[in-house]
Each structure stands twice: as C-alpha cells, then as structure tokens.
Amino acid sequence: MPYLKLRDGAELFYKDWGNPNGAIVTFSHGWPLSSDNWENQMVYLADRGYRVIAHDRRGHGRSTQTWDGNNMDTFVDDLEELFAHLKVKDAVMVGHSHGGGEVTHYLGKHGTKRFKKAVLVGAVPPLMVKTSANPEGTDKSVFDSFRQAMHHDRAQFFLDVPSGPFFGFNRPGAKKSEGQIQSWWRQGMNTSFKSAYDSIRDFSETDFTEDLKKINIPVLVLHGDDDQVVPFEASGHKSSKLLPQGKLKVYKGGSHAIHNINTDEVNKDLLEFIKL
C-alpha cells in the first residue's frame, strides 16, 4: 500500500487508482472516516478512464496517528505535499463534509494552480458553529455533546451517528443498511481518538468564508435539503453564493451522505461536471 512520508515524519496513506495517464480527480473524506468512504465514486470514475486519488487524513484510517497537527492548516499542507509528490495538475478536487472544508481551505491557502474545478458535497463551509455573525449556525452545545459522547463511550457514539442522522436512517420509511453502518463504525474506530476529538473543533469552528471568496475556478456544490449533520441553509446554500463561480444542486430529501445513499445520481452529476 502506498504511503508518503511527510515533512514531520508522519506517513500519509493514499490510493492512486485507474488510468495513470487519465485526467485526475482527488477526493477528501469526511469526519471521522477514511478514503474508503469514496470507493463507489472512485471505482465509477476509474472505470471511465480517470485517475482517482484519495488519502486518509493524518490520524485517520491507515495514516500515522499523530498527537498534534489535527487542524486544517496542517491537513492542507499535507495535501500539497501529496499532490506535489504525485504531480497533480489540471485536476478536479472533491470533498465531503470535513473534507469539503479541506478542499476549500486548500484552494484558499495554496491556490488553484493544480486544479481546474472543485466539488463540495454536504460540506461544512462557510462556518458550522452559531455566532453573532452566523446566526443560522449550529449551537456550540451540539458539538460539546459530541465531545462528551466520545469520552463516555466512543464505540457506541460511532454506532449512533451512522444509525441515525448521518445516512438519514432515522427518517420514516428509510431503508437502513447495516453494511453502511458497520463500514462507518469501522472507519471511525480506525481513526485515533485524539484526531477525531480535535477534528470536532476543526470542522465546526473553522471559518472558511474568505477561502470561498478566493476560489477562482468553477465549484459544484451538492447538498441534501434534509442534511441533519450540516444543515443546508447554513452551509451549501451560503457557500454557493460566496463562491465566485459556484453552482448549486440540491438533492430533495437528501441526507448528509448523498454520495453513499444517492450514489448513482451523485456519480452522474460528478461525471457531467468533470467532463464540461
């Protein structure tokens, strides 16, 4: 399995699938998951001639469980090292949830020299937490409850999240997938406690507003209007207006995990946007 040794000695696990000479699409995963959460999209695009790259964020999945550096600046600097190593250029960058924040901050900090387009899926920007300037946000007490739940019984909390709001399995008539729940749990439990815990603050309190304004390439924003984790009105709706070249698609009744639940539709939308 391929790893890249980073500037501080940490090792970043990554997947590099498909046509080595094909157009490149990169994927950034959500909290507290790994690159495995993107496997349907990666296989779909790889089968159509693309080169698809996804990493496990430091502290997550198969990457080194560092104690420090569980913050957005470190995460995007890791990505820049990986992209330089893999000679990424003229690519499309895709991110879900926390990974959508990673995409946004990467493009805001490192620029768009390697990328021609981006896609945000159920992404956390511009800012999740409620503040006086962001009254539509989620109250900090919700994120405090996440931290409390992790300290009390992380294993159970990491079953409760996918069993309910993440995939929308708590909605009447929802078809629950035990496989999706167990996959989420496995990925979450493979992430270090420290990284998962620190990342709650990172995804909820990082303000991506200025990053969004800087992104000078087309960005497709995909968001479910029944997203119980990253509510649409405070995130996808606002981000699409802040992006200079933002395009919004709302999935009616869509959960936070539209790429896992509405797989065929998301794959089709990704391919159409990439090919434009």
Which domains can be identified in the chain, with CATH numbers? 3-275 (3.40.50.1820)
pLDDT at 276: 78
Closest CA to 124 of 101, 141, 102: 101
* Residues recorded for the chain: 276
Whether 29 and 56 have beta carbons less than 8 Å apart is answered as yes
Report the sign of the C-alpha dihedral through residues 20, 259, 223, 265, in that order: positive
DSSP 8-state secondary structure symbol assigned to residue 138:
B
Whether 101 and 29 have beta carbons less than 8 Å apart is answered as no
pLDDT at 105: 98
Looking at 63, 97, 192, 235, which residue is catalytic? 97
Q: Is 97 a catalytic residue?
A: yes
pLDDT at 228: 98
**Alpha-carbon gap, residue 185 to 123, rounded angstroms:** 20
State whether residue 85 is helix, strand or coil.
Answer: helix
Q: Is 227 a catalytic residue?
A: yes
Q: Looking at this protein, which amino acid is placed at residue 249?
A: K
Digit-coded pLDDT (tens) for 104-123: 999 999 999 999 999 999 99
Distances (CA, A) of 23 to 31, 38, 93, 220, 254: 27, 18, 12, 18, 29
Give pLDDT < 70 ranges for the chain. 1
Q: Torsions phi, psi of 263, nearest 5?
A: -60, -50
pLDDT at 1: 66
Looking at 36, 56, 211, 227, which residue is catalytic? 227
pLDDT at 39: 97
Q: Is 240 a catalytic residue?
A: no
Torsion of CA 54, 55, 57, 58, to 10 degrees: -170
pLDDT at 155: 98
Digit-coded pLDDT (tens) for 31-68: 999 999 999 999 999 999 999 999 999 999 999 999 99
Looking at 55, 256, 259, 269, which residue is catalytic? 256
